[in-house]
Amino acid sequence: MKVKSNDKGSKMTIDKLAIMVAKGFANVATKEDFKSLEARMATKTDVEGIKNQLAGMNKRIDDFAETKVSKIMYKGLESRVQKIEAKI
């Protein structure tokens, strides 16, 4: 059985095969690549958590603003209650 080669007249040697395999592994991710990716993902998770907290705070502030009694209204009600209490 004859081995086909890329170059006419040249045969595949162990050295050529080793070079081909080394080139194939040149683009494989390393442990350091995964560590940096994990760190970026953790940061993204932290940012999402902060966004959720801010959204909750904004909702509470909006609810407070909608339900709060104005100072003018409070003073008017206070004077009315004082007059009623004085009559009793």
Distance CA 11, CA 22 (A): 19
Residue 85's pLDDT is what?
A: 92
3 contact partners, CB below 8 Å, separation of at least 6: 11, 12
pLDDT at position 82, please? Answer: 94
pLDDT at 8: 56
In a domain, 6, yes or no: no
In a domain, residue 7? The reply is no
> What is the distance between the alpha carbons of residues 13 and 86, in angstroms, rounded to a whole number?
110
- Count of domains observed in the chain: 1
Quick one: pLDDT at residue 1? 44
What's the confidence (pLDDT) of residue 54?
Answer: 93
In a domain, 38, yes or no: yes
- Owning domain of residue 83: 29-87
The answer for residues whose C-beta is within 8 angstroms of residue 11's C-beta and 6 or more apart is 3, 5
Mean pLDDT per 10-residue run, the chain (88 residues)? 54 88 82 84 83 92 82 88 92
Q: How many residues does the chain have?
A: 88
CB-CB contact of 5 with 11 (8 Å): yes
Both tokens of 49, joined, read: 């958590």
